[in-house]
Amino acid sequence: MPTYIMNGRWTTQGLQNIKESPARLDASKKLFETLGVRIRDFYMTTGKYDICVILDAPDDSTLAHALLALGSKGSLTTQTVRAFTEDEYRDVIKKLP
């Protein structure tokens, strides 16, 4: 199953209700699970992004659906990238001409 790294920043709305953030995380885990996406790891971070989340999803479309559902709540903006495991990386490199 593909792995994705989602970096997020709290919106003004999200910051105004920051004390509700742990409950929003719990709700997001449940929402994602019903949509076929698993939150593997969650980190609050410093720097450009406020959070970093490691996700597993069966495909890009499923992930996009979950991220749009999350984003529509208004508390977070995200930037997500596909992450390749070491084995996947080695396979990609092996196939180069």
CA 26 vs. chain centroid, Å, equals 14
Report pLDDT for 37. Answer: 98
Put residue 36 in one of left, alpha, beta given phi > 0 → left and psi -120 to 50 → alpha. left
Model pTM?
A: 0.90
| CATH architecture designation of domain 3-94 | 2-Layer Sandwich (3.30)
In this prediction, residue 51 has a pLDDT band, given cuts at 50, 70 and 90, of very high
Whether the CB-CB separation of 54 and 63 falls below 8 Å is answered with no
* 24 pLDDT tier (thresholds 50, 70, 90): very high
CB 38, CB 7: distance < 8 Å: no
Rounded Cα distance between 37 and 13, Å, is: 25
The residue ranges of every structural domain in the chain are: 3-94
